[in-house]
């Protein structure tokens, strides 16, 4: 046979002997499918010792074997099945035969779909997302901390790049904490297998697309976790990586064909310049390097122009939704992917799950750059990506400029106003996920210089602006640090491990300052959860004056006024300028304190934010 070798990022075929341990049929993926899917076509990847030399046959009512494709590597076959609308759930044998050798059979299951209303619900402005790294949140099962058959067996909580032992059961054990906080949706960084020799905890170097990493649990435990979330009124987002694959995956170690990944004469990184994708004057070589260059030496760049790669990825993602009932996808490194494939992917996924939410990680420097990747061809791209929303890093940067920047025509708080004024670039900016930090970025508290007023203002803006707000684990208890290196912002949540000196999942384990921050976030998040005006209401903003920024979220039932004083001194704000939105109201309730405030004149503390619900019963 031929085996793949990896040399400095170049993947080659090299003549070797057959792996003695590889059976004639090692796996079929997807390992099962469902009757009644929108798309009748299914392509099975078959991997086994010289399986490509065998003949494949099957017989089942409503299922037709349309074609059998051999690959460059004789250890693979690709079977094209057509499943008619009349096919019933059941199972059938797929037979692989070769003269003079024993027949190999795989029993393939065609299952009934689960159409429960609380599956694949979608994530919207009604939700608050909580991002966490499963290895660093809580350890519910110490027995899976080390799996001896995997390449990385070290467990060192004092090392930022080692595994720490957190898992899915640990998260399940703390769902009540998240529910109390006001969270409605949980996003874990990838929990599928990353059998890499170092830093496997982060999850972005996939080695088995159909398997939960055993150090986190099992596929069945993951499904139970999603079901448990749904029973509690919580939703689940799954983090996907289209662009690259871990080099220890069997798909790289025994690659189906040379064109499975992008090949270069020598190792070639991406240039990480999204502008090269959209630049009308750009050099084709720059665009190719951006899209086809490898993300890292241990993350091979998948060739998404290869139809076998396309089918494999798309079917895997559909499989996980139908298997577990997840509610949305976050798409890692979105700009690095092939645009035509990603548009096709989005349409195929949404055809099966119309309510499923999708948002892409873009992390670019302008609203126009972000909008370039979103659906609707709104910036004259000449192409519809069918991507509903993005991670709105431009709003994140603008919030920090409002909190930390010096006043200027487009600086300081004016930056935030100006960025939101560009929402016309999007088909629907409310589908963007807004955030202040994540696993790759410095934490909120550190970015604002540990100024608690700035911290609270940041949280107030995050939880009242348009879009879907996302919190990062531990921000609510004032976890801090800068992302240099990024392991510093991926510390363990105190109390997630038996024997931790402090349990900050409880009020008793938190300091007075931490409880104050936690209570502030909880109050705002739960208020948002109960207030449609903040979820789906309109946004009206006013040009900042004297470095004070005012905007309103409102619908037919309620109006919420948000006032941010970006000055370093106390300010007094008269509200006559905002009469078109305040209307006849003369009083408002402070959402945080519950106190009633007269609207004629507001006293604003330095770097502070007021969130006020107008009381329409008190009118001029």
Q: To which residue do tokens 């990480």 refer? A: 272
CA distances from 270 to 267, 337, 433 (A): 10, 11, 25
Contacts of 529 (CB under 8 A, 6+ apart): 126, 128, 182, 184
Which helix (DSSP H) or strand (DSSP E) does residue 323 occupy? helix 307-324
Q: How many Cβ atoms sit within 10 Å of the Cβ of residue 192?
A: 22
3-state class of 451 per DSSP?
Answer: coil
Evaluate the CA torsion angle 412, 418, 419, 421 in order and state its sign: positive
Q: Which two tokens stand for residue 56?
A: 């494949």
Q: Establish whether 384 is a catalytic residue.
A: no
Q: Which two tokens stand for residue 10?
A: 């170049």
Contacts of 258 (CB under 8 A, 6+ apart): 11, 13, 72
Catalytic residue among 338, 361, 491, 514: 361
- Which spans in 256-296 are helix H? 275-278, 284-292
Burial zone of 576 (CB within 10 Å; 0-12 exposed, 13-18 middle, 19+ buried) = exposed
Please give the Cα distance from 129 to 370 (Å, whole number): 20
CB contact at 8 A, 529 and 128: yes
3-state class of 371 per DSSP?
Answer: helix
Q: Write the DSSP string, 325-353.
A: ---EEEETTGGGS-HHHHHHHHHHHHHH-
Catalytic residue among 332, 338, 491, 492: 332
Q: Establish whether 254 is a catalytic residue.
A: no
Smallest CA-to-CA distance from 162 within 211, 109, 134, 199 is with: 199
CB contact at 8 A, 497 and 468: no
Please give the Cα distance from 620 to 615 (Å, whole number): 12
CB contact at 8 A, 218 and 268: no
Q: How many Cβ atoms sit within 10 Å of the Cβ of residue 494?
A: 18
Greatest C-alpha distance within the chain:
94
CA distance between the termini of the chain: 85
CB contact at 8 A, 332 and 239: yes
Smallest CA-to-CA distance from 62 within 99, 43, 23, 36 is with: 36
Catalytic residues: 332, 361
């Amino acid at each position: 046979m031929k085996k793949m070798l990896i040399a400095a990022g170049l993947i080659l075929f090299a003549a070797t002997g057959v792996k003695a341990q590889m059976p004639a049929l090692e796996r079929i993926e997807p390992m099962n499918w469902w009757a009644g899917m929108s798309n009748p076509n299914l392509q099975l990847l078959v991997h086994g010792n010289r399986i490509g030399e065998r003949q494949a046959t099957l017989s089942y009512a409503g299922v037709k074997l349309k074609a059998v494709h051999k690959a460059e590597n004789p250890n693979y076959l690709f079977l094209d099945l057509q499943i008619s609308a009349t096919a019933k759930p059941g199972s059938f044998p797929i037979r692989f035969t070769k003269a003079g050798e024993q027949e190999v059979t795989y029993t393939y299951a065609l299952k009934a779909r689960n159409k429960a209303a609380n599956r694949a619900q979608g994530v919207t402005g009604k939700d608050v997302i909580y991002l966490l790294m499963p290895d660093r949140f809580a350890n519910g099962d110490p027995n899976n901390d080390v799996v001896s058959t995997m390449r990385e067996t070290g467990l060192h909580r004092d090392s930022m790049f080692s595994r720490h032992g957190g898992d899915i059961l640990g998260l399940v054990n703390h769902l009540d904490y998240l529910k109390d906080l006001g969270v409605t949706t949980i996003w874990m960084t990838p929990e599928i297998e990353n059998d890499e020799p170092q830093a496997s905890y982060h999850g972005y170097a996939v080695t088995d697309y159909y398997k939960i990493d055993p150090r986190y649990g099992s596929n069945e435990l993951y499904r139970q976790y999603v079901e448990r979330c749904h029973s509690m009124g919580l939703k689940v987002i799954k983090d996907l990586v289209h662009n690259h694959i871990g080099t220890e995956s069997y798909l790289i170690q025994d690659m189906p064909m040379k064109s499975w990944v992008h090949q270069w004469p020598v190792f070639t990184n991406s240039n990480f310049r999204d502008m090269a994708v959209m630049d009308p004057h750009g050099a084709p070589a720059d665009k190719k390097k951006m899209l086809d260059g490898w993300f890292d030496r241990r993350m091979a760049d998948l060739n998404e122009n290869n139809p076998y790669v396309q089918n494999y990825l798309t079917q895997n993602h559909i499989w996980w939704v139908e298997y577990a009932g997840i509610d949305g996808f976050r798409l890692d490194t979105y700009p690095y992917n092939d645009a035509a494939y990603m548009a096709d992917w989005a349409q195929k996924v949404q055809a099966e799950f119309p309510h499923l939410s999708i948002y892409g990680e873009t992390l670019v420097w302008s609203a126009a750059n972000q909008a370039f990747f979103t659906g609707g061809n709104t910036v004259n791209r000449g192409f519809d990506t069918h991507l509903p929303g993005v991670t709105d890093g431009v709003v994140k940067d603008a919030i920090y400029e409002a909190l930390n920047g010096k006043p200027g025509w487009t600086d300081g708080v004016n930056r935030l106003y100006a960025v939101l004024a560009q929402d016309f670039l999007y088909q629907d900016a409310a589908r963007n996920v807004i955030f202040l930090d994540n696993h790759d970025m410095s934490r909120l508290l550190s970015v604002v210089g540990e100024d608690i007023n700035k911290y609270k203002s940041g949280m107030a803006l995050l939880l009242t602006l348009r879009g879907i707000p996302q919190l990062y684990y531990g921000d609510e208890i004032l976890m801090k640090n800068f992302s240099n290196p990024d392991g510093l912002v991926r510390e363990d949540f105190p109390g997630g491990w038996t024997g931790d000196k402090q349990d900050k999942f409880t009020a008793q384990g938190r300091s007075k300052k931490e409880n104050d921050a936690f209570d502030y976030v909880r109050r705002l998040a739960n208020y948002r959860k109960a207030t449609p005006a903040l979820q789906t209401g309109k946004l009206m903003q006013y040009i900042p004056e004297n470095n004070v920024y005012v905007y309103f979220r409102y619908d037919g039932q309620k109006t919420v006024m948000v006032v941010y004083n970006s000055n370093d001194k106390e300010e007094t704000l008269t509200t006559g300028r905002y009469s078109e939105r305040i209307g006849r109201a003369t009083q408002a309730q402070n959402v945080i304190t519950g106190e009633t405030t007269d609207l004629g004149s507001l006293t604003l503390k330095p770097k502070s934010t007021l969130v006020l619900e107008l009381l329409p019963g008190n009118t001029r």
